Amino acid sequence: MVASDFPVFLLLTVVMGFSIFLGLPVIYSTRAQGRWAVALNAAAIGILIFLAADVFSDVAGLIYPGGSYVANPGYAIAFALAFTVAYAGLYFVDNLPRGSLLGASDATTGPENGPRRTAMIIALGIGLQNLTEGLVFGGNWAAGSLGVLAVVFLGFFLQNMTEGFPIASPFLGTGAPRNIALMVGLFLVGGIPTVVGGALGYFWTNTLLLVIFDALAIGAIVFVILPMLRVAFRPLENRAASLARNRLVYAGVLVGFVIGFAVNAI
């Protein structure tokens, strides 16, 4: 590709990255309460589980070249370190005292009562994952791989549509303020990295960089799934209600995973 193609390329990455905003109306839905809120949150967990698996399927071929069970030691160490940095870093952010950074208006420092903080952590994880998507798209464009660009673009566009949903999920059924500026900011955190990664991949690609950012994305996604599961299975007022809610969570996680898989397969 030549530099004159860059404006077209940039426009496509913006469209691809900002498709995340198509999930924004979910947070304002009047039906996102009660059992619907439980089901939607469970589906968000399923989507995040799929995203973690999807990212690892991409990076595994780099760490284990040629389908070998023997890892590239440099890439394996880089992956482990980056995963740890993302996981430990978000643990630190999640435990910041009330009134600092993300927890200024949350009721407590705990993830169950901090939808704003949890949403930001989810947005950071998805943003890291979208950064790697941008790198892949930019690298293919720069390499002139026109045969796969349309498939890559459509796949990432559709996948980003579903990624806005997990960001909104911590607010569902909580009665938390639905501040449009806050939600737009969270969606930008998740979507803009697609554009940044695309520009970086267009001008420069590096396998080690892909491994590091994939590991950061997986570490962030794995971290945020844990408190979401804890909230999803929090005991209710009686055993019957808990069992009914648990069945809904199991079904919702499965549906979310299947949605992520189906969208990615298109």
pLDDT tens, residue order, the chain (266 aa): 445 688 888 898 999 999 988 877 776 766 666 777 788 888 888 888 988 888 898 889 889 987 778 889 999 999 999 999 999 988 887 777 755 555 444 444 444 447 888 888 888 888 888 888 888 888 878 777 665 667 677 777 877 887 887 888 787 766 655 678 888 999 999 999 999 998 988 888 788 888 988 898 899 888 888 878 887 888 877 888 888 889 999 999 999 899 888 877 76
Closest to 222 measured CA to CA, from 48, 56, 41:
48
Contacts of 107 (CB under 8 A, 6+ apart): 113, 114
Sign of CA dihedral 24, 30, 34, 35: negative
What pLDDT does 220 receive?
A: 85
Closest to 153 measured CA to CA, from 138, 131, 163:
138
Q: Dig out the tokens for 188 from the structure.
A: 């930008």
Cα separation of 251 and 254, whole Å? Answer: 5
The CA-based diameter of the chain, rounded to the nearest angstrom, is: 65
Burial of 163 from C-beta contacts in 10 A (0-12 / 13-18 / 19+): buried
Sign of CA dihedral 98, 226, 131, 61: positive
Q: For 205, what's the count of Cα atoms within 13 Å in the CB-facing half-sphere?
A: 16
Cα separation of 207 and 65, whole Å? Answer: 12
Please provide residue 219's backbone torsions phi and psi, each rounded to the nearest 5 degrees. -60, -40
Cα separation of 187 and 222, whole Å? Answer: 19
Three-state helix/strand/coil letters over 1-24: CCHHHHHHHHHHHHHHHHHHHHHH
Contacts of 227 (CB under 8 A, 6+ apart): 94, 111, 112, 118
Tell me the residue range of the domain where 77 lies: 3-265
> What's the number of domains the chain is made of?
1
Cα separation of 62 and 97, whole Å? Answer: 39
What pLDDT does 74 receive?
A: 93
- For the chain, what's the residue count? 266
What pLDDT does 186 receive?
A: 92
